[in-house]
Amino acid sequence: MKNDSVIKRIKPEVRAISAYTLREYEYEIKINQNENPYDVPCELKKEILEFAMERSWSRYPPFIPEELKERLAEYAGWKADGVLVGNGSNEIIQALLTVFLERGKKLVIPSPTFTLYRLIGTVVGAEVISVPLRNDYTFDCDEIEKQFLKDGDMLIICNPNNPTGCMYPLSRIESILQKTDAPVVVDEAYFEFAGETIAGLLKEYGNLVVLRTFSKAFSLAGLRVGYGLMNPDMAKEVGKAKLPYNINFFSIASALKLLENYTKLDTKVKEIIGERKPLIDAMNKIEGVTAYPSKANFILFETPFAPKKIFERLLAEGILIRDVSSYPMLEKALRVSVSTQSDNRRFLNYLTRILYELKDER
């Protein structure tokens, strides 16, 4: 009874939404979260561990990870005082929404897109305005621009978009930036796979924010490192909504080590990019399958059968993909991460067989 009454004191909009969760499954091939199939190289892990052995664990990490900010600034072609490092880029998303939004303000996002924007937008009390993708799952740039310029307080574009893989043309983002001083956040979590960035416009537009992460191309999802690029004055304000010591010394050291050795990772990123188009083409050759173009390390696809059925049959073979059919518009869709050549082949073989079997059962 007592629990009941304390829960009622939580904001109604928070109680109304469901939490961001992901069930755990047993698998042999994990291609459900767009992680890098290649782990951090062993020799780099050893160097990081050696550093961690020498460094005192009883002492706080640096208050601001200056060296990491400088290396990130070099990597991204921006200024160090305009870099915010977060415990995953999710933390920067949270900080941005916290400082810019509140009840009565409007967050404009495309739909479907990354779930977290709506979730945190709702938690901070903002009204979330969703602009549906077009039927071919590309951005409706005209409608997004119209809705945002009307009375939007923040726009978030995931570029390329998770879970569809489509790109928002950079020239269309610039055309929005020219017409407003409201913040435009571009989540480039998959930048290394897309090879295209809006970061070049940071010096021209003080309302542009670019988000990046170490969770995908940098193979570091387990250590939680992400960053935001924005004008230094904005970084100062947004930084107030981050927790002190948000990023631990182990993660800082790992991120630095990986930046220093990025050429090693880049080879693997290029390999994954090389797998992407052949995999999409091969999927489209399976009767009944539509795989959509993607600039990221994942592929959205549809089949004539219930996504749950495809998901479960693949899982029975040890292959874990993502059923995205609960997203708006995507009732028939699944998402698969592009992995190593052997993983991709195994996925393709089973997908082919499962579709064949399901057709037979009809």
Write out the residues near ligand PLP by the rule CB under 6 A.
34, 88-90, 114, 158, 162, 187, 189, 213, 215-216, 221, 226
Q: Closest distance between ligand PLP and the C-beta of residue 4, in Å?
A: 33
- Residue number of the CB closest to ligand PLP reads 88
For residue 35, which of 350, 263, 313, 336 has the smallest C-alpha distance?
A: 336
The single residue listed with the structure tokens 């909009």 is 13
Q: Name the H helices within the chain.
A: 2-7, 12-16, 42-54, 66-76, 89-100, 115-123, 141-151, 170-177, 191-194, 232-238, 249-260, 262-285, 307-316, 341-361
Closest contact distance (angstroms) between CB of 275 and ligand PLP is: 19
Q: d(Cα 225, Cα 75) in Å, to the nearest integer?
A: 15
| C-beta of 167 vs 355, nearer to ligand PLP | 167
Q: Which is nearer to ligand PLP, 128 or 355 (CB)?
A: 128
β-strand partners of 335: 300, 322
> How far is it, in rounded angstroms, from Cα 83 to Cα 93?
14
Helix (H, G, I), strand (E, B) or coil at 217: coil
Query: What does the block give as tokens for 117?
Result: 């924007």
Minimal distance in Å, beta carbon 109 to ligand PLP? 11
Spatial distance between the Cα atoms of 222 and 258, rounded to a whole number of angstroms? 14
At 192, is the secondary structure helix, strand, or coil?
Answer: helix
* Closest separation in Å from C-beta 8 to ligand PLP: 31
Q: What letter would DSSP give residue 186?
A: E
Q: Which is nearer to ligand PLP, 39 or 50 (CB)?
A: 39
Query: Is 280 within 8 Å of 272 (Cβ atoms)?
Result: no
Cβ distance to ligand PLP smaller for residue 69 or 216:
216
Give the Cα separation of 125 and 138 in Å (integer): 28
122 or 251, CB closer to ligand PLP?
251
β-pairing verdict for 106-111 and 127-132: parallel
Residue position matching structure tokens 């029975």: 316
Beta carbon of residue 216, minimum distance to ligand PLP (angstroms, whole number): 6
Q: Which amino acid is at 221?
A: A
Q: Tell me the closest approach of the beta carbon of residue 54 to ligand PLP, in angstroms.
A: 27
CB atoms within 10 A of CB 58: 5
Name the minimum Å distance from CB 87 to ligand PLP: 8
CB of 117 to ligand PLP, least distance (A): 9
Nearer to ligand PLP, 252 or 355 (CB): 252
Given the complex with ligand PLP, which of 89 and 231 has the nearer CB atom? 89
In the complex with ligand PLP, the residue whose CB is nearer, 187 or 192, is 187
Terminal C-alpha separation, the chain: 51
Minimum CB distance to ligand PLP smaller for 35 or for 354? 35
Bridge partners, 30 (sequence order): 320
Distance in Å, CB of 1 to ligand PLP, minimum: 38
